[in-house]
Amino acid sequence: MWRRAGAGLVVLSGRGAGSEVCARVPGATTWIRATPTALPLCPGLPSSSPAGFLLQACGGLAHAPTTPHRLLHTTPRSAAESDASTAVVQAGEEELDRLYSRVDVECRGHEPAVLRSYQKFVSTAAAHLDVPLEGIEWPKKHIQRWTLLKSIHIHKKHRVQYEARTHFLVMRFVRLTSSTADTFLEYIQRNLPEGVAMKVTKHEIEKLPEHVKPSAEVVA
């Protein structure tokens, strides 16, 4: 027997325990087919629903098989979405597999006392976290000077000189994985003092491409 329910939903109701209930929203190509025992599996339906109960929770976008223990969701999923999710998972796995032979952390600031204090903090953190610190360098400072008139536009002989001194600090870490490097760098960057700039250079270990092969002389 066919009858029309609310919102244009057509329901085919049946009688008996083995009868089926089919529902379809006009304009949708997916049918809902279920037995009265399978109706409680659909969200929003009470366990005592009779045959022909309006399957309003499914909305014509799900398919319930005749078996009362499974409810299959048949909403189509494009191949592009599946490929994108797979690529994200693979990219995450590849990110964890990266190895860095060396990570150079360069800091620049105008106050050498601030850089010395920060260098002590980073060295202590690396020692507690078992991050191998190979060496610490203090490159030569850079001085930039400007010579300007002391007055606005007169008295050429009266001048004043300004200068900006930039001090450098380079810390070299070796044999790190990508997860360890990212975690450690995030920690020390969160505690970076004001007025200090940081530059990170990573040296990654990669396999030789397949088209690059040793010559016969090297193999022999």
Same domain, yes or no, for 48 and 100? Answer: no
* DSSP E strand stretches across the chain: 2-4, 10-12, 21-24, 32-34, 99-109, 133-137, 142-149, 159-177, 197-205
Residue 83 is assigned to a structural domain of this protein: no
Tens digits of residue pLDDT in 50-87: 444 444 444 444 444 444 444 444 455 566 566 666 66
Q: Which of 141, 129, 126, 109 is nearest to 171 (CA)?
A: 126
Outline where 33-177 has alpha helix (H): 79-96, 112-128
Residue 99 is assigned to a structural domain of this protein: yes
Of 38 and 181, the one with more pLDDT: 181
Residue 211 is assigned to a structural domain of this protein: no
Structural domain including 28 reads 1-75
Number of domains in the chain: 2
Q: Which amino acid is at 141?
A: K
Answer with the one of 14, 45, 75 that is the final residue of a domain: 75
Same domain, yes or no, for 67 and 100? Answer: no
Same domain, yes or no, for 61 and 115? Answer: no
Same domain, yes or no, for 66 and 2? Answer: yes
Tens digits of residue pLDDT in 108-154: 999 999 999 999 999 999 999 999 999 999 999 999 999 999 998 88
Residue 214 is assigned to a structural domain of this protein: no
Same domain, yes or no, for 45 and 109? Answer: no
Same domain, yes or no, for 100 and 66? Answer: no
Q: Which residues contact 178 (CB under 8 A, 6 or more apart)?
A: 95, 96, 97, 98, 99, 100
Res 216: pLDDT: 72
Residue 90 is assigned to a structural domain of this protein: no
Give the orientation angle of helix 79-96 with respect to helix 178-190, to 10 degrees: 80
- What is the pTM (predicted TM-score) of this model? 0.53
Residue 173 is assigned to a structural domain of this protein: yes
Largest Cα–Cα distance of the chain, in whole Å? Answer: 111
Residue 167 has pLDDT above 70, yes or no: yes
Answer with the one of 46, 75, 104 that is the final residue of a domain: 75
Same domain, yes or no, for 61 and 113? Answer: no
Residue 158 is assigned to a structural domain of this protein: yes
Of 182 and 97, the one with more pLDDT: 182
DSSP code for 97:
T
Query: Long-range contacts made by residues 124-127, C-beta under 8 angstroms, separation at least 24?
Result: 125/184, 125/187, 125/188, 126/173, 126/184
Residue 218 is assigned to a structural domain of this protein: no
Same domain, yes or no, for 126 and 159? Answer: yes
Same domain, yes or no, for 102 and 190? Answer: yes
Q: How far apart are CA 74 and CA 81, in angstroms?
A: 15
Same domain, yes or no, for 123 and 197? Answer: yes
Same domain, yes or no, for 101 and 55? Answer: no
Q: How far apart are CA 25 and CA 60, in angstroms?
A: 5
Same domain, yes or no, for 24 and 102? Answer: no
Q: What are phi and psi of 40, to 5 degrees?
A: -60, -15
Q: Which of 15, 20, 17, 18 is nearest to 55 (CA)?
A: 20
Domain with residue 201: its CATH number is: 3.30.70.600
Q: What are the Cα distances from residue 77, in Å, to 30, 82, 114, 164?
A: 14, 7, 56, 60
